[in-house]
Amino acid sequence: MSFQNPVFIPGPTNMPEDIRKACDMATIDHRSPVFGGILNPCLENVRKILKSDSAHIYIYPSTGTGGWETALTNTLSRGDKVLAARNGMFSHRWIDMCQRHNLDVQIVETPWGHGLPADRYEEILTADTNHEIKVVLATHNETATGVKSDIAAVRRALDAAGHPALLFVDGVSSIASMDFRFDEWGVDVAVTGSQKGFMLPAGLAILGFSDKAIDAAATAKLPRTFFDIKDMDNGYAANAFPYTPPVGLMNGLKLATDMLLDEGLENVFARHHRIAEGVRLAVGAWGLELCAASPDVYSDTVSAIRTPDGFNATDIVTHAASQYGVAFGVGLGEVAGKVFRIGHLGSLTDVMTLSGIATAEMVMADLGLDIKLGSGVAAAQDFYRSHPAASTLKAA
C-alpha cells in the first residue's frame, strides 16, 4: 500500500493535512478549562451539522458501532420491540446488535440495492395499535450497497400512523457529506463516527439525542456503563468526560467541523454530489451497473459497482492494492464478490477522483474485463469540466 495515493474506501477517508496536524497535540490536563475550549465548540458545531437547534450531542471514544450501542442501551429495555429494514451489511449489523441485547426486532427484509420501504413501515406501524414498537431504525446510507434512503418518508410513515415510536438514524456514512435534517425529519437519535464525513481517524462515536430520546433514557433498563449518557452529562457539566477523553481527536473534530461550516453545508453536499456524478458517469462508460437499483437511491458518498457474472469483484480490490497501491472497498455480505466499492466522501478533489477512476480502469483491464482505458476518465473529465466546482474544502 502506498502512503502517497488517496484511498477510495468508504471510510476511513483521506485526511486533510491541517486536520492531521490538529490531532497531533501535546498532552493537556483534560480536567482543566483548556479541554472545555475544545469540547464546547465540538458540541456546538456538530449540532449545526445535524441541522438541529436543540439536539443533545454526545461524543464517545468509540466508533459508529459504539454509537449504535449508545442509542439502544440508553433508551430501551430487555424485550422491547424494534422495527428495522435489512437492506445491506450495516443495517444487518445494527439488527444483530439489537438481538444480542435481547430486543425483539421485527425485520423487514428488503432487497440489497433498494432503499428503506417507508410504505411497509407505515403499514406495520398502523397495525401496531397498542404502540408496542418503541423504536424504528433507519440506515440513511447503506455503505455496503451505495444506497441512500429517504428519512423524511420514514418520518411521514410514523406520523401517518400516529405512532409515538422513536426514530433512530444511522448516518455514519452520510452525516457531514449528504444532507441530514435532525429537526425537520424528527430524528430522535442520530449516530455517526469520526472517520467518514468528518475526515478524522476512527475513534469517536458522535450522536445527537432529541428531548424525547432523553426522556426515554429515564426509564430504559438495558445495562449501560461506558455509554451511559447520564454520566456523560455529568462530565459535560464540568467541561469534562466521565473518563479520559481523546483530546487530540476532539481537537481535530473542532477543526474539521469549522472547515465544513466555513465551506457551508449546502456547498459540502453539492461537492459530494458533483464528485459522485463523475464516478457514476465513469461506471456507465465502462458498461457496468451500480448495485443501487435506481437514481433516487444513488449515494453521494459511495458507489458499489457490479461486475459481470462469474467474475470475482474482490480480485479488483486485491490487485489494485498489490499492483498500484490503491485501496478500493470490497463487497460485503450478500454482495461479497459481486461488487467493488469506490468511496467518494470526505476530503476529495476532481484530480484525486480521476486518479481513482483511472486506477480502476487499469485494474479491470489487467484482470481481463472488457474495459476501454480512458473511457471512464473521459466521461468524468467532461462532467467536471462542464460543471465547475462551486466550493472547495479549505483550512479554516
Ligand X SMILES: *Cc1c(COP(=O)(O)O)cnc(C)c1O
Question: Which residues in this chain contact ligand X in the complex, by CB under 6 A?
Answer: 11, 63-65, 90, 139, 141, 143, 170, 172-173, 193, 202
For ligand X, give the closer residue by CB, 11 or 246: 11
Rounded Cα distance, 263 and 16, in Å: 14
Q: How far is the CB of 262 from ligand X (least distance, A)?
A: 25
Q: How far is the CB of 244 from ligand X (least distance, A)?
A: 20
90 vs 180, beta carbon nearer ligand X: 90
Question: Closer CB to ligand X, residue 173 or residue 353?
Answer: 173
Q: Which is nearer to ligand X, 177 or 353 (CB)?
A: 177
Q: Minimum CB separation from ligand X for residue 174, in Å?
A: 8
In the complex, least distance from residue 87 CB atom to ligand X, rounded to whole angstroms: 11
Residue nearest to ligand X (CB): 64
For 28, counting Cβ atoms within 10 Å of its Cβ (0-12 exposed, 13-18 middle, 19+ buried), the class is middle
Type and span of the H or E element at 386: helix 375-386
Backbone torsion region of residue 176, taken as left when φ is above 0, otherwise alpha when ψ lies between -120 and 50, otherwise beta: left
Closest distance between ligand X and the C-beta of residue 61, in Å? 12
Q: What is the C-alpha separation between 326 and 360, in angstroms, rounded?
A: 9
Place of cell 428488503: 110
Nearest alpha carbon to residue 61 among 223, 189, 226, 213:
226
- CA end-to-end distance (rounded Å), the chain: 30
Measured at the CA of 99, the angle between CA 148 and CA 207, to 5 degrees, comes to 50
User: CB-wise, 146 or 356, nearer to ligand X?
Assistant: 146
